[in-house]
Amino acid sequence: MAKTEVTLIIAERTIDSLFTFELLSAAPTAIVVSPHNNRGPRTPDHEVQHARRKFVFECKTLYAAKANTADWVVRVPRPQLADYLAHGQGSIVYVLPADPSNRMQPWIRTCRTDADHQGRCGACSNPGRRQGAVHYRRWAGQQQPVSSAPVETRLQPWFNHWAWCVRADALERYLVGNPALTRKVSGIRTAEIPAPDRRLERVPGAVRLCHFLGAVEQDHDAIHGVTRDSIEDDADRDTAVPEDGLVGLERMSMQSVADLQPVKDDRRLVVGY
């Protein structure tokens, strides 16, 4: 029996925007550019040439047969992935959004690996009021319009928790080992990775986005001498950066982005700080 065709749940442009907000909250001095919009003399390498830390991100999105009932999946075109690897770009970071463990209450974000004493994820528990926009973003679900939004939209304020980062080469190894995840979509070999949070956690080398961003924040502040205000109402929070975030930071950064190859419909994000 043929598989049911899946439909788009969240536009990739929306995922790009959510990711960029979270990244710039962690690294406010960062430059974000798109290779597609930087041809000629102002290539991405020129844009971020003075950055101490550089990354290239490929954000993917969610699909499902029916938004409120069917399983969600993340689509990854295999030819695109193979092309990156063929040009030595295995450290490109794929950002894979997850299906929250409770779609109706995506603010519930228990953590099994780096939890604080209340079982919350130490990397992304609610920041204090003195952190301004980030604090209000995390509490946005208590009021309109988020509180009455569709489930796939309601997760937006907590996107930092419901997404995973994985290097292109590690993702390829996972897909090679799980051939049943790949089928042809509009004539293109495409992996459809189950999006439940605990399924994405099983991808070897995957790092939860909030853990990765915790390491980015620490690294960014050390490089630029930034001292953030202490948060009195978060005094009991464990602020240690999770180990997987620190490892991911080192493995996912690039020395240079000069060799990025142009690709059709390029949506990559080049980041430097």
> Per-residue pLDDT averaged across 199-203, rounded?
94
Domain count, the chain: 1
**The pLDDT of residue 263 is above 80:** no
* pTM of the predicted model as reported, rounded to 2 decimal places: 0.89
Residue with tokens 């937006």: 156
- Residue 155 inside a domain? The answer is yes
**How far apart are alpha carbons 107 and 89 in whole angstroms?**
35
Which of the residue ranges 42-56, 191-205, 245-259 would you say has the lowest mean pLDDT? 42-56
Interatomic CA distance for residues 273 and 263, integer angstroms: 24
Query: Nearest to residue 173, comparing CAs of 266, 90, 249?
Result: 90
Q: State residue 110's pLDDT score.
A: 73
pLDDT over threshold 60, residue 238 = no
Residue percentage of the chain with pLDDT more than 90: 57
Whether 258 is in a domain gets the answer no
Beta strand pairing call for 93-97 and 54-59: parallel
Average per-residue pLDDT for the chain = 85
Higher local confidence (pLDDT), 195 or 240: 195
112-145 b/e (C-beta count within 10 Å ≥ 16 → b): eebebeeebbbbbbbbbeebeebbebbebbeeee
30: confidence class by pLDDT, cuts 50, 70, 90 = very high
62-66, 73-77, 100-104, 256-260: least confidently modelled range: 62-66
**Predicted confidence (pLDDT) at residue 1 exceeds the cutoff of 50:** no
Cα torsion for 196, 254, 32, 228, to the nearest 10°? 80
Q: What is the mean predicted confidence (pLDDT) over 76-93?
A: 93
Q: What is the pLDDT of residue 126?
A: 61
Give, for 26, the enclosing helix (H) or strand (E): helix 12-26
Q: 5 pLDDT exceeds 80? A: no
CA–CA gap between residue 3 and residue 42 (Å, rounded): 44
Q: Is residue 243 part of a domain?
A: yes
The confidence score (pLDDT) of residue 141 equals: 83
Q: What is the pLDDT of residues 35-69, one digit of tens each?
A: 765 455 456 767 888 899 999 999 999 998 555 55
* C-beta of residue 66 within 8 angstroms of C-beta of residue 152: no
**CA gap 68, 27 in Å, rounded:** 34
Rounded to whole angstroms, the Cα distance separating 108 from 165 reads 20
Cα separation, 175 vs 140, in Å, equals 36
Give a yes or no: residue 46 inside a domain.
no
For residue 191, name the pLDDT band (cuts at 50, 70, 90): very high
Q: How far apart are CA 248 and CA 57, in angstroms?
A: 13
- Considering only CA atoms, which of 6, 40, 25 is closest in space to residue 216? 25
Identity at 54, one-letter amino acid code: K
> Is 268 a domain residue?
no
Going by C-alpha positions, the residue among 27, 23, 48 that lies closest to residue 38 is 48
21 inside domain: yes
Q: Is residue 252 part of a domain?
A: no
pLDDT confidence tier of residue 97, bands split at 50, 70 and 90: very high
Give yes or no for residue 121 having a pLDDT over 70. Answer: yes
pLDDT in tens, 152-167: 999 999 999 899 999 9
Please count the other Cβ atoms lying within 10 Å of the Cβ belonging to residue 62. 24
Q: How far is CA 125 from the centre of its chain?
A: 17
Token pair belonging to 145: 């319009």
| pLDDT at residue 192 greater than cutoff 80 | yes
- In this prediction, residue 67 carries a pLDDT of 53
Q: For residues 60 and 31, what is the distance between their CA atoms, to the nearest angstrom?
A: 21
What domain range includes position 66?
7-26+57-229+236-247
Residue 42, in any domain of the structure: no
Q: How confident is the model at residue 187 (pLDDT cuts 50, 70, 90)?
A: very high
Residues 45, 262 contacting (CB under 8 angstroms): no
